[in-house]
Amino acid sequence: MPGITRAQELVYELKIEDVMTREVITVPPQISMTELREILREHRISGVPVLENGVLVGIISIEDLIKALAAGEMGATVEKKMTRDPVFLYADEPVVMAVNRFRRPGFGRFPVVDNGKNLIGILTRGDIIEGLLKKLEVEYHEEEIRHYRASHIFEDIVSDCTSLILRYNIVARDLEHAGEASSNIKLVLTRLEIPRQHVRRVAIATYEAEMNIVLHADEGGEIVAEVQPRQIVIRVTDTGPGIADIEQAMQPGFSTASRWMRELGFGAGMGLSNIQSCVDEMRLESPPGTGTFLEAVIYLNREGEK
């Protein structure tokens, strides 16, 4: 997923308290503008909240300071020059609230308060950017580690033939979860850094097989994907009604699906032929009364050919 979309999501997920600066420098209203200048310079900041007896009464920035300097009023108190009743943000609001507030001109920082309106932080545009970048970096790093751990399994485990077996139970008629197994297989293969074209072929084949079980097998079934260094073997077993005529079933367009299956968008008679066109080897067995067994192999040595 592109990073920009994740950043957009994050401004809704992250709270203001996650990104704000917690150590807030404040000033009392009685100090002079000259004293304020020293405080801003010392801390290299461009604005501070004004607190009187712990209560937020105003905010004053470097802009106010410049105006006072131009007017020759550096001896005036902060109280005279500050913005009263400043706009503030609540700590538990999502960052997007702050982003919207910053769109309006004239706002460089917002005091952040808790639900008792006590000042607990301050937020600038820089805090938001830094917070988002940190979060994105952490997420990127987590996915990198997963990639690293998963994709090196075949190098780290030494044997004559290492394979990773993924086993999924498929529940009959469970339309809510239909497709989850294939989705998880796709995720695992992606983490194993198997080339996309291969992952896609496996995903389509297992999804068709999964839907076959969900729709046709009364007792459900099982999908096993065995990942080997050079190939992926998919084994699908179910205890459904079986297939009366395999040759006929393989024909594109042949279907025994009922109306409700077709309404779901399946049962067009393309399932088995779709599986066949995605895989390099395919074997289908269905002895009468024992269900169906499908084995398919996808080679990993060619660059996604098929």
Partner 1 sequence: MKLGEVVSIVEGTLLFDADLNVEVPCAGAADLMSDVLAFAEPGSVLLTGLCNPQVVRSVEMADMVAIIFVRGKHPPPETVALAKEKGIPSVTTPHTMFEMCGRLYEAGLRGCDISCRIDLVR
Least distance (Å) from partner 1 to the CB of residue 256? Answer: 14
Q: In this complex, which beta carbon is closest to partner 1, that of residue 29 or of residue 269?
A: 269
Query: End-to-end alpha-carbon separation of the chain, Å?
Result: 26
Segment contacting partner 1 by CB under 8 A, of 83-91, 117-125, 202-210, 229-237: 202-210
Residue type present at position 285: E
Number of residues in contact with partner 1 under rule CB under 8 A: 30
Tell which one of 51, 171, 172, 204 touches partner 1 (CB under 8 A): 204
Distance between CA atoms of residues 61 and 40, nearest Å:
9
Least distance (Å) from partner 1 to the CB of residue 190? Answer: 11
Segment contacting partner 1 by CB under 8 A, of 47-55, 104-112, 152-160, 268-276: 268-276
Which residue pairs, CB below 8 angstroms and at least 24 apart, start in 36-42?
36/60, 36/65, 36/78, 37/65, 37/74, 40/65
Helices (H), 14-45: 16-19, 33-43
Residues 1-40 that bind partner 1 (CB under 8 A): 1-2, 4-5, 8
Q: What is the DSSP letter of 46?
A: S
Asked if 306 interacts with partner 1 (CB under 8 A), we say no
Tell which one of 49, 208, 217, 235 touches partner 1 (CB under 8 A): 208
CB atoms within 10 A of CB 194: 19
Least distance (Å) from partner 1 to the CB of residue 277? Answer: 7
CA 247 vs CA 41, 133, 273, 285: distances in Å = 84, 57, 11, 11
Q: In this complex, which beta carbon is closest to partner 1, that of residue 81 or of residue 186?
A: 186
Distance between CA atoms of residues 9 and 20, nearest Å:
18
Segment contacting partner 1 by CB under 8 A, of 19-27, 49-57, 66-74, 203-211: 203-211
Tell which one of 135, 186, 198, 235 touches partner 1 (CB under 8 A): 186
**Residues sharing a CB contact under 8 Å with residue 291, sequence separation 6 or more, in sequence order:** 217, 221, 237, 238, 239, 240, 242
Binding mask 138-167 for partner 1 (x = CB under 8 A): ------------------------------
Residue 243 in contact with residue 249, Cβ under 8 Å? yes
CA 169 vs CA 224, 226, 270, 275: distances in Å = 9, 15, 23, 19
The DSSP line for 153-179 is: HHHHS-SSS--EEEEEEE-TT-TTTTT
Least distance (Å) from partner 1 to the CB of residue 252? Answer: 8
Asked if 303 interacts with partner 1 (CB under 8 A), we say no
Least distance (Å) from partner 1 to the CB of residue 97? Answer: 16
Q: In this complex, which beta carbon is closest to partner 1, that of residue 111 or of residue 267?
A: 267
Distance between CA atoms of residues 128 and 94, nearest Å:
11
Summarize as ranges the residues that interact with partner 1 (CB under 8 A). 1-2, 4-5, 8, 175-176, 178-179, 182-183, 186, 196, 200, 203-204, 207-208, 211, 264-271, 273-274, 277
